[in-house]
Amino acid sequence: MLFRLFNAREGDDYRAVLKGRCVLFAVFIALGFTTLAVSLFLAIFDVLDSSISYAIGFYAGVGIGVAVACLVGLISTRRLMKNEQKMRLEFIKETDEREKEVTLRAASATALALIAVAYVAMMVTVVLNRTVFYTLLAVAVVFFVVFLSSRAYYAKKL
Amino acid sequence: MTNQIAALRKARRITQEELADAVGVTRQTIISLESGRYNASLLLAHKLAEYFSLTIEDVFLFEEDE
């Protein structure tokens, strides 16, 4: 689904876009397996302190998840590239202006919800847990910095 | 803004699928345009007008208070 954010644009050579996407999938599969390998290394050589050993399970889970999801994406993209008719339909779906509008509005609503939840969570955690509070504060600051800088970028670009 | 897409399409006996395919959008977009839930971009408006061999003003009707 995330790869949908990097959709083709009208006039693009869709086959080239799909090829680029396959390369991206391959990079993420490698990243997933690397994460899995790191988790196996940590488990076998018992590097981590027992109090944070749950991190091994997290690394393994994320690694397998990313690798499998990208493998599925890679296979379906390569299959799509073999069928001209399906490729054309998929290109129309990706470049459809209404679909783009729907995605933009959904992203906007998600960002708003994220900030609202972060605000409530910060109000609660400020009295309960300082570490969690600072983490949430950092997320909010990064969010606004990215938002303002990307807004400035697109204001100049468009 | 209202439009004549549904009427023009029916007059030419074209399906929503065929029209969508001709202008490079999904059938759902044509459905939304015809029902007035979605307003076309200038580019899509141009493509639709060109498809029906009309001007944009013939296909899309802008109302003064908008």
Residue A151 Cα distances to A99, A105, B4, angstroms: 22, 16, 36
Element containing residue A24 per DSSP (H, E): helix A14-44
Query: B54: alpha, beta or left, given left = phi > 0 and alpha = psi -120 to 50?
Result: beta
The structure tokens 């007059």 sit at B11
pLDDT band at A105 (very low <50, low <70, confident <90, very high): very high
Closest CA to B23 of B38, B5, B10, B35: B5
User: pLDDT: is A127 or A13 the higher one?
Assistant: A127
What pLDDT sits at residue A3?
52
Percent of chain A with pLDDT strictly greater than 70? 94
Which of A4-18, A78-92, A143-157 shows the lowest mean pLDDT across its residues?
A4-18
Question: Average pLDDT of chain A?
Answer: 91
Q: Least CA distance to A93: which residue of chain B? A: B26
CB of B37 less than 8 A from some CB of A: no
pLDDT of residue A51: 79
Does the distance separating the beta carbons of A101 and B29 come in below 8 Å?
Answer: no
pLDDT band of residue B66 (cuts 50, 70, 90) is low
Phi and psi, residue B38, nearest 5°: -135, 135
User: Is A95 close to B21, i.e. CB distance below 8 A?
Assistant: no
B24 touches chain A (CB under 8 A): yes
Mutation for testing the A interface, residue in B17, B26, B32, B41 having most A CBs under 10 Å: B26
What pLDDT, in 10s, does the model give residues A46-67? 877 777 888 899 999 999 999 9
Residues 6 or more apart from A40 whose CB is under 8 A from it? A60
- pLDDT tens figures, A1-37: 455 556 677 667 899 999 999 999 999 999 999 999 9
Model confidence pLDDT, tens digit, residues B10-62:
999 999 999 999 999 999 999 999 999 999 999 999 999 999 999 999 999 98
Residue B29 touches partner A, C-beta closer than 8 Å:
yes
Q: Quote the longest CA-to-CA distance of chain B.
A: 33
Residue B26 at interface with chain A, using a CB cutoff of 8 Å: yes
> Which residues in B lie closer than 8 A to residue A10 (C-beta atoms)?
24, 43
Task: Please report the ipTM that was assigned to this predicted complex.
Answer: 0.88
Looking at this protein, which amino acid is placed at residue A92? I
> What tokens were used for A122?
């910060």
